[in-house]
Structure 1
Amino acid sequence: MKSSDRRATYQILNTVVPYIGLWVLAVKVASISLWLLPPIVGLMVLFLLRCFSLMHDCGHYSLFRSKQANRLVGFMLGAINAIPPYAWSRDHAYHHKTNGDWQRYRGIGDFLSTEEFAQLSAFDQKLYGLLRQPIVTLPGGFFYLVIQPRLTLILGICGFIRHGLTGLKSNGFKNFRSIVFSHKSEHWQTSVEFWDVLLNNVLVVGSWLILSHLVGPGVFWGLYSTVMTLAGSIFICVFFVQHNFEGAYAHNTADWDYLRGAIEGSSYLDLPPWLRWFTADISYHSIHHLSEKIPNYSLAACYQANRHLLSEVTTLRLGDLRHCAQFILWDATTNQLVPISTQLAVAPKNRNIVHARLPKLTHRRKN
């Protein structure tokens, strides 16, 4: 779990500098021929994927030795990824705290139990399955990175205004201070999270306006939306196959075990070396869940040194995504993930209780 500032700094430089350089190159090439852009855009997506992975390490305070360095660099990487890093990492920590406990945490797609699924209408059952197919990660990736953080701030501010107006209507200005400080937002849980979300949005939206002015809105948004959509889609797919697979540990709270959740509820994603580099070795996911304080540059060595203890870890490849995409329901009676096809024949018990839900694409903490 020992962090190295030298290795961390080198990783930031060999990731952020090429990413910025690729943006400059892409803008110049776009003025010559759009047909030359695909390989450049592909590299931009991969480097953004690495930026996100390093931000993830900063969120666990594992990349650098000091907490302050992780917060500062994490904020910079969050601006590049358009994600408020502090709020994201706090939510992500809940996922680590409850991995494999499907009674408390239902994964990245807000998955239903088989009992809840059986209560859906036939139409909603089909809609539920459709919304959780791999192809949906494309619009989902754009929403996750570009829209959701902005929407979070807008909805949070609207909620605060409604709370203030309701309080003023009931009590007038005499208790204005208590009205303001009594507000509890569902979109952030602390003042630190609020400022993180606000400052990230100011920086991200400000950069959109500046870059659109400098390179032109058509070129900027054409490149930006493509890169963010593809990178966000890859984020979601990688996270999905690391936790949703046949035989994954998926227990209720009563008999849930943290170590089994880390080892049997997280897969080892067998990637080619070049893709492991761009994902900062997050494919060694069981090791990461056993201790999130291990920096990415130590995960591979730690995995190799302890392979004899990790025989229960499931090995997957990206090609297994389609097979894993079936396992989007949790059977609470057998404590396992099951394919949706095994439940479609079940008659709905009550068509009015549950409605098909869109994937949350976030790790919200529960009170």
Structure 2
Amino acid sequence: MDRAPLPSSKELIARTRPFAAQDTTRSGWNLIATYAALAAAATLAVAAPWWPLRALGGVLEALVLIRAFILFHDAMHGALLPSSRWAKVLFHVQGILTLTPARIWNDTHNHHHANTARLAADSAGTFVTWTTEQWRQASVWQRLAYRVERHPVTLLFGYVTAFLYSLCLLPFVKNPKRYWTSGLALGVHVALSVVLWVFAGPAVYLFAFVGPLFLAYALGTYLFYAQHNFDDVHILAESHWTHSDAALEASSYLRCGKVMAWFTGNIGYHHVHHLNPRIPFYRLPEAMAAIPELQQPHVTTLSPRDIVRCLRLNLWAPELGRMVRYRDAWARG
């Protein structure tokens, strides 16, 4: 389908602003419901008398953790309960407990939003993307580092690679004064792990703590990767870059059912979110339905076929206007 020309960035963003008005009651209810669901899932993972039920509780806990993260993510954007002091404290505590301290998250994620699909920008807060020419010119060690960062195993172990290391250990070691909360999050996490293992036992540690975190962060890391690295992503030259083009051409719409949309906090409406990150997650579908220019997104899914296709795309080929595999860089060199 041919894509209609977009209005100017300012005009399109202005049309999304009515949807950035949050409903305080609705926001509060979503927060309470999410935390209640998280508590229920954790209780099932801890106390169920039959281990398959405990495993089910752990999986549900992992899915609700993703939703809880989206609420934190929206709060950091000022899209959820921005004037509530108690909510601010609550979300900062959640960030410490879930290895996403507010300071490092805001620094890296705001950079990501300001530089989506900009090849020349620093890669902080996102997965680096090289052109085929950059790949051909890079050293063996540089190529290895690039492969490791984008490798499926790195995404699978997002709990360690993206959260424990990139958001906690690395920033604290580099700048402990600015990112002391990253060190605090790491310390609290280690302490909780020891306490649960010693006093609650390995089963509780596995089913209600490390297992759900591993699953949640693996899926969350993949979602973050896939929503800017898909089959028909389009990366414009720096001279033609605009915020709205980056949002609509380099951010995908994840098509999934209502259940998965609830667990992922509508983050699948990623093109709408990148256009205006101050829209609360529960109003993203409303904004897409009301604005025609948002209704022809680049679509991806969580089907095995789409996941495999996404993971095989590694380099941007400007001459082709699409992502390609590593081997294509040499074939077209």
Is the pair's TM-score, using the shorter chain for normalization, greater than 0.5? yes
Code of the aligned partner of 1:11: N
CA distance in 2, matches of 1:95, 1:295: 19
Q: Would you say 1:141 and 2:127 are equivalent positions? A: no
Q: Would you say 1:86 and 2:103 are equivalent positions? A: yes
Code of the aligned partner of 2:294: L
CA distance in 2, matches of 1:127, 1:93: 24
Distance 1:257 1:99, change over 3 A: same
CA deviation vs aligned residue, 1:175-211 (integer Å, no higher than 9, x gap): xxxxxxxxxx3xx7xx5x4243244345434433443
Alignment of 1:3-22 (within 5 A): 3-22=22-41
Q: Would you say 1:265 and 2:283 are equivalent positions? A: no
CA deviation vs aligned residue, 1:63-95 (integer Å, no higher than 9, x gap): 114174553232132134222123212210111
Contact 1:27–1:215 at 8 Å: present in 2 too? no
Question: Hey, what does 2:294 align to over in structure 1?
Answer: 310
Question: Hey, what does 1:110 align to over in structure 2?
Answer: 128
Match of residue 132, structure 1, among 139, 150, 157: 150
TM-score normalized with structure 1 length: 0.75
Residue 318 of structure 1 aligns to a residue whose secondary structure is coil
Moved more, 211-220 or 283-292: 211-220
Question: Hey, what does 1:152 align to over in structure 2?
Answer: 170
Code of the aligned partner of 2:132: T
User: Taking every aligned residue pair, what percent have the same amino acid on both sides?
Assistant: 25
Residue 243 of structure 1 aligns to a residue whose secondary structure is coil
Question: Hey, what does 2:267 align to over in structure 1?
Answer: 282
**Structure 1 residue 49 displacement after superposition:** 0.8
Code of the aligned partner of 1:318: L
Code of the aligned partner of 2:265: A
Question: Hey, what does 1:329 align to over in structure 2?
Answer: 315
TM-score normalized with structure 2 length: 0.82
CA distance in 1, matches of 2:158, 2:82: 34
CA distance in 1, matches of 2:161, 2:226: 20
Alignment of 1:34-53 (within 5 A): 34-53=51-70
Contact 2:115–2:121 at 8 Å: present in 1 too? yes
**Structure 1 residue 219 displacement after superposition:** 3.2
Question: Hey, what does 1:27 align to over in structure 2?
Answer: 46
Question: Hey, what does 1:230 align to over in structure 2?
Answer: 215
Code of the aligned partner of 1:309: E
Residue 108 of structure 1 aligns to a residue whose secondary structure is coil
Distance 1:8 1:214, change over 3 A: farther
Instruction: Determine which structure has greater relative contact order: mean sequence separation of CA pairs < 8 Å that are 6+ residues apart, divided by chain length.
Output: 1
Residue 283 of structure 1 aligns to a residue whose secondary structure is coil
Q: Would you say 1:214 and 2:231 are equivalent positions? A: no
Distance 1:153 1:323, change over 3 A: closer
Contact 2:172–2:179 at 8 Å: present in 1 too? no
Question: Hey, what does 2:93 align to over in structure 1?
Answer: 76
Distance 1:124 1:102, change over 3 A: closer
Distance 1:74 1:213, change over 3 A: same
CA deviation vs aligned residue, 1:68-127 (integer Å, no higher than 9, x gap): 455323213213422212321221011111112122155733333322321356798588
Moved more, 329-338 or 41-50: 329-338
The structure with the larger Rg is 1
Distance 1:262 1:155, change over 3 A: same
Contact 2:46–2:207 at 8 Å: present in 1 too? no
Instruction: Note the residue ranges of structure 2 that are not aligned, 5 or more in a row.
Output: 1-19
Contact 1:103–1:252 at 8 Å: present in 2 too? no
CA deviation vs aligned residue, 1:294-338 (integer Å, no higher than 9, x gap): 1111111111111x2125521121121211222221335666433
RMSD of the alignment, in Å?
Answer: 2.9
Distance 1:226 1:234, change over 3 A: same
Residue 227 of structure 2 aligns to a residue whose secondary structure is helix
**Structure 1 residue 217 displacement after superposition:** 4.8
Question: Hey, what does 1:364 align to over in structure 2?
Answer: none
Instruction: Note the residue ranges of structure 1 that are not aligned, 5 or more in a row.
Output: 157-184, 348-367
CA distance in 2, matches of 1:148, 1:226: 20
CA distance in 2, matches of 1:65, 1:104: 29
Aligned residue pairs: how many? 311
Distance 1:202 1:61, change over 3 A: farther
CA distance in 2, matches of 1:225, 1:311: 39
